[in-house]
Chain A
Amino acid sequence: MTDNPVFARIQADIDGNDVLLYMKGNPMFPQCGFSAAVVGVLSQMKVKFKGVDVLQDMEVREGIKAFSNWPTIPQLYIKGEFVGGCDIVREMYSTGELQKLFDAKGIAYENV
Chain B
Amino acid sequence: MAMEAAEIERLIKEGLPDAEVHIEDLRGDGDHYSARVISKAFTGKSRVQQHQMVYAALKGSMDGALHALGLQTSAPEDDA
Contacts and interface: CB of A to CB of B under 8 A. Distances in A.
Interface in A48-89: 65, 69-72, 82-85, 87-88
Contacts of B52: 69-70
B71 interface: yes
Interface residues of B, number: 12
A84 B69 CA distance: 14
B72 interface: yes
B62 A71 contact: yes
Nearest to A62: B63
B2 interface: no
Contacts, number: 30
Interface residues of A, number: 14
Majority secondary structure, B binding face: mixed
B51 A88 contact: yes
A34 interface: yes
Interface of B: 47-48, 51-52, 55, 60, 62-63, 68, 70-72
Given A70-B55, A88-B47, A88-B51, 13 more contacts: A34-B68, A65-B63, A69-B52, A70-B48, A70-B52, A71-B55, A72-B62, A72-B63, A72-B68, A83-B48, A84-B51, A87-B51, A88-B48
5 contacts: A71-B63, A84-B47, A87-B51, A88-B51, A92-B47
